[in-house]
Amino acid sequence: MAEALQKVVEEDRQGEAYAPFAADPNIFNKKFYIESYGCQMNFSDSEIVASILHNEGYGATRNYEDADLVLLNTCSIREKAEVTVRNRLQAFKKVKDQNPGLLIGVLGCMAERLKAKFLEEEKLVDIVVGPDAYRSLPSLISEAGGGQKSVNVLLSRDETYADISPVRLDSNGVTAFVSIMRGCNNMCTFCVVPFTRGRERSRDAESIVAECKDLFDRGFKEVTLLGQNVDSYYFTPSFADGHQPDSVNFAQLLERVALISPLLRIRFSTSHPKDITDDVLHTMARYNNICKYIHLPVQSGNTRILQLMNRTYTREWYLNKVKRIREIMPDCGISSDVISGFCTETEEEHQDTLSIMELSKYDMSYMFSYSERPGTLAARRYTDDVPEDVKKRRLIEIIDLQNALSRESYRNDIGKTFEVLIEGNSKKSDKDWCGRNSQNKMVVFAKGEVPLSKGDYVQVHITSATSATLMGHMV
Ligand code: SAH
Ligand code: SF4
Ligand code: F3S
């Protein structure tokens, strides 16, 4: 039980935050500090914001106490994510009291959800900017510098920041995220994302390939293509002369990125089970450098609950998709997102979630208890009627089961040999390297006498395992 509770905290991505590197003070005359919460899209957006601020003479600092501008890139996905942000703002209040010239800005999904209300609720906030309005940051900063609170939360139908070259924050120099689309059209009833990030739109394929190629030329070895629903990626170029070149779907985009170099690994996230096609699966199988790993969130294992969630697939349909993945790529890793205690969920329906996890044999899952979000379809249509203690107990059962499934999955790798991309020193010892295999499992192994560095590929023979790490030696 204690292990399970600890996992709740670990698996909850909303708690993650980071501060970036310190920039050269000779080039930049002002300093910004940024913390990001929520999904990888937000972390990726912070790198776009850093690029916009660099052009304005702002360098990044790791210390908010000596910043001229403090930014929080926020998440609204669950209530707890918003509580974390409000607590964080309290920490900045002390600094602002001492330095009234300090500007504090709130970016991202919570800014979009609360809009100008944020300024009323949190008096110390000067700037509120939604995810599609980052280009207006320079003018908002200068308005706020003149003493006027400023807000831009306009959502866009076409903004993809395609032409902005992100400044990589806190990068290991080996792996990078590349945003390929924005927004979401799916309207899962529990989810706030369609309201905070607007309509789905795909980024120009050429600009994606160019960004990935540039990363590879600068020594990066792995790109993760990001979107809320990458499988519905669809870009139609339009040329002024009336000539209509071919559109690009996700399978074609994957192939184009894979062709940059066999030494560049490609990952992607997230896949909606309804949209991932055989075409995508066959493309993955065809290229050794497209990693054999799919994050395929199930949310619930019960068809009635899936319908209430508007996920548009049934239990059987999902299980068939998993079967198809394993037919085409027997060695493919699969992970999931699971929600416990959605509106009206019964005990039997919860059992269906446990059994679909067992049948799907996930290597890993992100697991949450349902948190009602204001304005979502579920908040308007259904009653959040599963008591909090029942939601938590079901969540712990889900986590305990996932721990057992992960242990089994990792144990099954003992005796196998994998190609591992070295990401850096292992957390525990600088005598060990760590990196991931194609299936996204973390592998730790002794450096020994071999002269290697991060970014190198090595073959590692697995000799032992926990439920989250494989250990072995180079061969
Ligand atoms: N676009 C991705 C997921 C984005 S949000 C997808 O469709 O899979 C990440 C995860 O947060 C979701 O998969 C879901 O499991 C969880 N989540 C979203 N809204 C939630 C809510 N209101 N309460 C609890 N968990 C939620
Ligand atoms: Fe939310 Fe569903 Fe869109 Fe994912 S697919 S972001 S869960 S609405
Ligand atoms: Fe959170 Fe927005 Fe991502 S709500 S999960 S930061 S899209």
Angle at 150 between CA 146 and CA 154, to 5 degrees: 150
Average pLDDT over residues 444-448: 96
Q: If you measure from the C-alpha of residue 381 to the centroid of ligand 2, how many angstroms do you get, rounded to a whole number?
A: 17
Residue range 152-174: average pLDDT?
94
Give the residue, by CA position, lying nearest to ligand 3 atom 7. 193
**pTM for the model:** 0.94
Atom of ligand 2 nearest to the CA of 229: 5
φ/ψ (deg, to 5) at 272: -90, 125
Coil, helix or strand for 104? strand
pLDDT score of 403 more than 70: yes
17 CA to middle of ligand 1, Å? 18
Say how many C-beta atoms besides its own lie within 10 A of residue 244's C-beta.
10
Which residues are registered as beta bridge partners of 367?
338
At residue 231, does pLDDT exceed 50? Answer: yes
3-state secondary structure of 334: strand
Contact 394 CB / ligand 1 (< 6 Å):
no
70 contacts 64 by C-beta, under 8 angstroms: yes
Residue 338 pLDDT greater than 90, yes or no: yes
* Ligand 2 atom 5, closest CA: 186
Q: Choose between 258 and 246: higher pLDDT.
A: 258
Cα 37 to ligand 3 centre (Å): 8
Query: Ligand 3 mean position to 370 CA, how many Å?
Result: 15
Assign 305 a pLDDT band (cuts: 50, 70, 90): very high
For a ligand 3 pocket test, name from 42, 74, 190, 295 the mutation site with the most ligand atoms within 8 angstroms of its C-beta: 42
Question: What's the 39 CA to ligand 2 centre distance in angstroms?
Answer: 12
Atom 2 of ligand 2, residue of closest alpha carbon: 188
Residue to substitute in 14, 77, 195, 272 for testing ligand 1 pocket (most ligand atoms within 8 angstroms of CB) = 77
Residue 11 pLDDT exceeds 50: no
User: From the CA of 41, which ligand is nearest?
Assistant: 3
Q: For residue range 349-393, what is the model confidence (pLDDT) as tens digits?
A: 999 999 999 999 999 999 999 999 999 999 999 999 999 999 999
Ligand number nearest to the C-alpha of 12 = 1
Whether the predicted pLDDT of 307 surpasses 60: yes
Structure-token pair, residue 58: 């702002």
Mean pLDDT over the full length of the chain: 93
Q: Identify the pLDDT of residue 24.
A: 60
Say what the pLDDT of residue 9 is: 29
Question: Which of 13, 186, 226, 310 has most ligand 2 atoms within 8 Å of CB, for mutation?
Answer: 186
Q: Which atom of ligand 3 is nearest to the CA of 74?
A: 6
Q: Closest Cα to residue 226, out of 192, 198, 285, 267?
A: 267
Q: How confident is the model at residue 27 (pLDDT cuts 50, 70, 90)?
A: confident
Q: Which of 12, 112, 184, 193 to mutate to test the pocket of ligand 3 (most atoms within 8 A of CB)?
A: 193
Please work out whether the CB of residue 295 comes within 6 Å of at least one atom of ligand 1: no
Mean pLDDT, residues 219-239 = 94
What's the 364 CA to ligand 3 centre distance in angstroms?
A: 20
Residue 160 CA, ligand 3 centroid: distance in Å = 16
Q: What is the mean pLDDT of residues 153-162?
A: 96
From ligand 3's centre to the CA of 287, what distance in Å? 31
In percent, the amount of the chain with pLDDT more than 90 equals 88
Confidence tier at 4 by pLDDT (50, 70, 90): very low
Compute the distance between CA of residue 377 and CA of residue 382 in angstroms, rounded to an integer.
Answer: 8
275-290 mean pLDDT: 98
* % of the chain at pLDDT higher than 70: 93
| Antiparallel, parallel or unpaired: β 222-226 and 201-202 | unpaired
**Domains along the chain with CATH numbers:** 2-152 (3.40.50.12160), 175-411 (3.80.30.20), 417-474 (2.40.50.140)
**Atom from ligand 2 closest to the CA of residue 194:** 8
CA-40 nearest atom, ligand 3: 3
Among candidate residues 315, 299, 335, 340, the one with its CA nearest the CA of residue 410 = 335
Find the residues whose C-beta lies inside 6 A of ligand 3: 38-39, 41-42, 75-77, 108-109, 192-193, 196-197
Three-state SS at 55? coil
| Distance between CA atoms of residues 207 and 244, nearest Å | 18
Q: What is the pLDDT of residue 242?
A: 66
Q: What is the dihedral of CA 81, 84, 89, 91, to 10 degrees?
A: -160
- CB 191 near ligand 1, within 6 Å: yes
Q: How many H helices and E strands in the chain? A: 15, 21
The whole-angstrom separation of Cα 145 and Cα 273 is 47
The reply to whether omega before 283 is within 30° of 0 (cis) is no
Distances (CA, A) of 137 to 69, 152, 230, 244: 11, 9, 27, 35
Half-sphere exposure of 139 (CA within 13 A, CB side): 6
Rounded CA separation 192/198 (Å): 10
Expressed in angstroms and rounded, the spacing between residue 370 Cα and the centre of ligand 2 is 14
Residue 164 has pLDDT above 60, yes or no: yes
**Cβ–Cβ under 8 Å, residues 437 and 419:** yes
pLDDT at 148 over 60: yes
Q: Residue 130: which of 106, 98, 158, 94 has the closest Cα?
A: 106
Q: Which of 27-31, 143-147, 413-417 has the highest mean pLDDT?
A: 413-417
Q: Comparing C-alpha atoms, which of 91, 87, 130 is closest to residue 107?
A: 130
Q: What is the pLDDT of residue 106?
A: 97
Residues touching ligand 2 (Cβ under 6 Å) are 184, 186-188, 191, 193-194, 228-229, 272
Average pLDDT over residues 173-192: 97
45-102 per-position pLDDT tens digit: 999 999 999 999 999 999 999 899 999 999 999 999 999 999 999 989 889 999 989 9
